[in-house]
């Protein structure tokens, strides 16, 4: 009896307590930088360097950084540009990626597997390696300093992951369901639209994992769209970083504001994201 209770206690520790402790520790490590950015964005400049780990107190609280961002930077324009680029890129990634995934998962033809692997190569090869060639293409098309250039690049960057993930999910949709739709006279495009709701967790997962790199990217906006009228929010935050003097209040405030869309997206799609991740782990 004692051995049974002891083994049950050990099982409870290893299966319940230990995973929660590990996850809690990882959560603290992941959230700590975000916590530092937010609390220091609401403090005076001296307090940022004197006590960076303390929350803003009555004698150190200051919204000077947010005031500077509003007065000196055209942040509404930067936010609008980032939202336009991110939303249009996501729509194109999900639409074209899901159509390609449907074709690869539904139709068997010679080279099907090789074509799927070829499209997934973009996950392993960083797109930034082709920056010079991409810039040459953008210049030849006359798209420098335009949001269209960023949208096209980000769409190409997100398609490999989208096709790879959605292809596996669409293979799990029962074939009897699609055959029944064909018997009823539904076209292939109609069947495609019918099965999209069935893979909505995968769509939410792809949307989150592609939106974060697009929203946070500094490389391509700096190279392809550095004009004032097409700056994104991450590039706009760089105006407060000087060669000799840096306005840390404004930098931290702009970074705090840039987190809002990511947090809002997670709050909206958190349930779908978790369902997609757990389903994908089994697949």
The mean per-residue pLDDT over the stretch 153-160 comes to: 92
How far is it, in rounded angstroms, from Cα 243 to Cα 214? 27
Q: How much is the mean pLDDT over the chain?
A: 82
pLDDT in tens, 51-99: 888 888 888 888 888 888 887 778 888 888 999 999 999 999 999 999 9
Domain boundaries, the chain: 2-40, 64-282
Contact 67, 268 (CB under 8 A): no
Give the pLDDT confidence score for residue 31 in this predicted structure.
85
The mean per-residue pLDDT over the stretch 235-240 comes to: 80
Give the pLDDT confidence score for residue 281 in this predicted structure.
45
254 has pLDDT over 90 = no
Residue 210 C-beta-side C-alpha neighbours within 13 Å: 32
Of 176, 271, 154, 143, the closest CA to residue 220 belongs to 154
Backbone φ, ψ for residue 256 (5° rounding): -65, -40
Of the ranges 10-14, 45-49, 239-243, 260-264, the best mean pLDDT one: 45-49
> Over the chain, what HEC string results?
CHHHHHHHHHHHHHHHHHHHHHHHHHHHHHHHHHHHHHHHCCECHHHHHHCCCCCCCCCCECCHHHHHHHHHCCHHHHHHHHHHHHHHHHHHHHHHHHHHHHHHHHCCCCCHHHHHHHHHHHHHCCHHHHHHHHHHHHHHCCCCCCHHHHHHHHHHHHHHHHHHHHHHHHCCCCHHHHHHHHHCCCCHHHHHHHHHHHHHHHHHHHHHHHHHHHHHCCHHHHHHCCCHHHCCHHHHHHHHECCCCECHHHHHHHHHHHHHHHHHHHHHHHHHHHHHHHHHHHC
pLDDT in tens, 159-177: 998 988 888 888 888 888 8
Contact 210, 158 (CB under 8 A): yes
Contact 195, 178 (CB under 8 A): yes
Give the pLDDT confidence score for residue 92 in this predicted structure.
94
Give the pLDDT confidence score for residue 261 in this predicted structure.
79
Q: Fold for domain 64-282? A: MetI-like fold (1.10.3720)
145 has pLDDT over 70 = yes
Per-residue tokens: 247: 């306005």
Instruction: Return the bridge partners of 241, or none.
Output: 246
What is the pLDDT confidence band of residue 270, given thresholds at 50, 70 and 90?
low
Whole-prediction pTM value?
0.81
151 has pLDDT over 70 = yes
The mean per-residue pLDDT over the stretch 11-36 comes to: 83
Give the pLDDT confidence score for residue 91 in this predicted structure.
93
Give the pLDDT confidence score for residue 90 in this predicted structure.
92
What is the chain's Cα-based Rg? 24
Higher pLDDT, 226 or 91: 91
268 has pLDDT over 80 = no
What is the pLDDT confidence band of residue 152, given thresholds at 50, 70 and 90?
very high
Surface-to-core class of residue 272, CB atoms within 10 Å of its CB (0-12 exposed, 13-18 middle, 19+ buried): middle
Give the pLDDT confidence score for residue 244 in this predicted structure.
57
Higher pLDDT, 241 or 4: 241
What is the pLDDT confidence band of residue 148, given thresholds at 50, 70 and 90?
very high
């Amino acid at each position: 009896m004692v051995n049974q209770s002891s083994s049950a206690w050990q099982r409870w520790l290893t299966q319940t307590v230990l995973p929660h402790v590990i996850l809690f520790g990882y959560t603290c490590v992941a959230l700590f930088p975000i916590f530092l950015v937010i609390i220091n964005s609401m403090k005076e400049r001296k307090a940022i360097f004197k006590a960076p780990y303390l929350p803003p107190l009555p004698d150190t609280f200051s919204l000077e950084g947010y005031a500077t961002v509003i007065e000196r930077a055209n942040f509404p324009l930067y936010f609008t540009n980032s939202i336009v680029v991110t939303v249009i890129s996501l729509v194109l990634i999900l639409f074209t990626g899901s159509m390609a995934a449907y074709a690869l998962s539904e139709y068997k033809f010679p080279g099907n597997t090789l074509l799927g692997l070829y499209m997934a190569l973009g996950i392993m090869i960083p797109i930034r390696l082709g920056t010079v060639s991409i810039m040459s293409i953008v210049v030849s098309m006359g798209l420098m300093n335009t949001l269209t250039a960023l949208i096209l690049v980000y769409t190409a960057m997100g398609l490999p992951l989208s096709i790879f993930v959605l292809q596996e999910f669409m293979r799990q949709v029962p074939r009897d369901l699609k055959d029944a739709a064909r018997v009823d006279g539904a076209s292939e495009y109609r069947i495609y639209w019918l099965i999209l709701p069935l893979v909505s967790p995968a769509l939410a997962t792809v949307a989150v994992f592609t939106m974060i790199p697009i929203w946070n990217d500094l490389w391509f906006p700096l190279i392809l769209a550095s004009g004032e009228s097409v700056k994104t929010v991450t590039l706009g935050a760089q105006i407060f970083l000087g060669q000799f003097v840096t306005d840390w209040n404004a930098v931290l405030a702009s970074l705090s504001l840039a987190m809002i869309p990511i947090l809002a997206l997670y709050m909206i799609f958190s349930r779908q994201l978790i369902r997609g991740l757990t389903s994908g782990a089994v697949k």
